[in-house]
A and B are shown apart, each in its own frame.
Chain A
Amino acid sequence: MTLKTAFETLAYVPAMESDATAQAWLDAHDRKFGLFINGEMVGQGNETLAIHCPADNQHLADVASATAADVDNAYQAARAAFTGWSQLSDHKRAQYLYAIARSVQKHDRLFAVLEALDNGKSIREARDIDVPLVARHFYHHAGWAQLMGQTMAGYQPLGVVGQVIPWNFPLLMLAWKIAPALAMGNTVVIKPAPATPLTALLFAEICQSVGLPKGVVNILPGGDEAGKAITAHAGFDKIAFTGSTEVGKIIRRATAGRDIKLSLELGGKSPFIVFASADQDAAIEGLVDAIWFNQGEVCCAGSRLLVQESIAPEFFRKLKARMDKLRLGHPLDKTIDMGAVVDQAQYKQIEAWVQLGISGGADCYQANCVVPTEGAYYPPTLLTNVDQASPVVTEEIFGPVLVGMTFRMKSEAIALANNTRYGLAASIWSENINQALEVATKIRAGAVWINSTNQFDAAAGFGGYYESGFGREGGKEGLYEYVRSAAETRLDLSTLPERDANWGAHTPAFPIPANGATTGVDRTSKMYIGGKQARPDGHYSYAVLDPKNALVGYASDGNRKDIRNAVAAAHAAKGWADRTPHNRAQILYYIAENLAIRQAEFVDRLRAQTGATRKAAEQEVELSISRLFSYAAWADKFGGTVQETPLYGLVVGLTEPVGVIGITCPADAPLLGFISLVAPAIARGNTVIAIPSQSAPLSATDLYQILETSDLPAGVINIVTGNQDHLTKTLVEHDDVDAMWYFGDALGSREVEYRSADNMKRTWVSNGKQIDWLNSTAAEGALFLRAATQVKNIWTPMGD
Chain B
Amino acid sequence: MTSTHIRNDGTPLDLAWVKATKINKSAVTRHIKTLAGRRTAKKNAQIAWQLKAISLIDLTTLDGHDTDDRVRRLCAKAKQPLRKDILAGLGMDDLELTVGAVCVYHNRVKAAVAALAGTDIPVAVVSTGFPTGQVPVAPQLKAINQVVEHGAREIDIVISREYVHTGNWQAIYDQIKAYRDACGPAHLKTILETGELGSLANVYKASIVAMMAGSDFIKTSTGKTKVNATLPVGYVMCRAIRDYERRTDFQVGFKPAGGIRTSKDALSWMSLLKQELGDEWLEPELFRFGASSLLGDLEKQLSHHATGRYASGRYMPSS
Contact = CB atoms under 8 A, between A and B. Distances in A.
B84 interface: no
B239 A281 contact: yes
A13 B29 CA distance: 26
B49 A279 contact: no
Contacts of A277: 22
Given A10-B282, A281-B239, A1 B44 contact: yes
A345 interface: no
Interface in B84-127: 90-92, 95
B42 A334 contact: yes
Interface stretch (A216-224, A484-492, A792-800): A792-800
Contacts of A13: 41-45
B314 interface: no
Contact of B30 (A429, A431, A452): A452
A7 B92 contact: yes
Interface string B11-48: 00000000000111111111100100111111111011
B27 A282 contact: yes
A325 interface: yes
Contacts of A451: 24, 26-27
Interface string A281-310: 111011001000000000000000000000
B24 A124 contact: no
Interface string A643-681: 000001100000000000000000000000000000000
Interface in B235-280: 239, 270, 274-275, 279
Nearest to A455: B30
Contacts of A334: 37, 40, 42
A124 B48 contact: no
Contacts of A286: 27
A285 B31 contact: yes
A323 to B, nearest CB: 13
A648 B48 contact: no
A15 interface: yes
Given A282-B23, A648-B26, A4 B40 contact: no
A279 B41 contact: no
Contact of B24 (A1, A12, A431): A431
A12 B51 CA distance: 15
Given A6-B48, A10-B49, A282-B28, A335 B199 contact: no
B29 A799 contact: yes
Contacts of B52: 7, 10
A799 B44 contact: no
A798 B39 CA distance: 27
A27 interface: no
A429 B24 CA distance: 10
B26 A10 contact: no
Contacts of A9: 279
A800 B201 contact: yes
Contact of B34 (A128, A282, A452, A797): A128
A280 interface: yes
Nearest to A337: B38
B26 A799 contact: yes
Contact of A124 (B38, B43, B95): B38
A279 B20 CA distance: 10
B200 interface: yes
B160 to A, nearest CB: 23
Interface string B47-59: 1110110000000
A507 interface: no
Contacts of A797: 26-27, 30
A280 B22 contact: yes
B234 to A, nearest CB: 14
Given A452-B26, A799-B29, A15 B40 contact: yes
A289 B34 CA distance: 10
Interface string A1-19: 1111011011111010000
Contact of A3 (B22, B24, B42, B91): B91
- Chain A binding surface, main DSSP class: loop
A706 interface: no
B26 A798 contact: yes
A223 to B, nearest CB: 34
A254 interface: no
A6 B26 contact: no
A416 interface: no
Contacts of A283: 27
Contacts of B275: 325
Contact of B27 (A1, A6, A15, A285): A285
B198 to A, nearest CB: 10
A279 B24 contact: yes
A289 B38 CA distance: 12
Interface centre among A12, A281, A451 (most CB of B within 10 A): A281
A277 B21 CA distance: 10
B199 A800 contact: yes
Given A1-B45, A10-B282, A13-B43, A800 B25 contact: yes
Nearest to A799: B25
B206 to A, nearest CB: 16
Contacts of B30: 285, 289, 452, 797
A280 B20 CA distance: 11
Given A286-B27, A649-B26, A6 B42 contact: no
Contacts of B92: 3-4, 7
B239 to A, nearest CB: 6
Contacts of A1: 44-45
A507 B41 CA distance: 78
B24 A335 contact: no
A798 B25 CA distance: 8
A629 B282 CA distance: 71
A278 interface: yes
Contacts of B25: 799-800
Interface centre among B43, B279, B282 (most CB of A within 10 A): B43
A335 B40 contact: yes
A336 interface: yes
Nearest to B23: A279
Contacts of A278: 22, 24
Interface centre among A3, A15, A278, A286 (most CB of B within 10 A): A3
B167 to A, nearest CB: 16
A4 B87 CA distance: 12
B38 A7 contact: no
A410 to B, nearest CB: 17
Interface in A445-493: 451-452
A335 B39 contact: yes
Contacts of B48: 3, 6-7, 10
A289 B52 CA distance: 31
B264 to A, nearest CB: 14
A431 B199 CA distance: 14
A10 B38 CA distance: 16
B239 A15 contact: no
Contacts of B42: 13, 15, 334-335
Minimum-distance CB pairs A-B, first 8: A797-B26, A282-B27, A6-B48, A15-B42, A279-B24, A124-B37, A7-B48, A282-B24
5 contacts: A3-B44, A10-B279, A13-B42, A124-B37, A128-B34
Interface of A: 1-4, 6-7, 9-13, 15, 124, 127-128, 277-283, 285-286, 289, 325, 327, 334-337, 429, 431, 451-452, 648-649, 797-800
Interface of B: 22-31, 34, 37-45, 47-49, 51-52, 90-92, 95, 199-201, 239, 270, 274-275, 279, 282
Given A10-B274, A10-B282, A124-B38, 16 more contacts: A3-B44, A6-B45, A7-B48, A15-B40, A15-B42, A124-B37, A278-B22, A278-B24, A279-B22, A279-B24, A280-B22, A282-B27, A327-B38, A327-B39, A797-B30, A800-B24
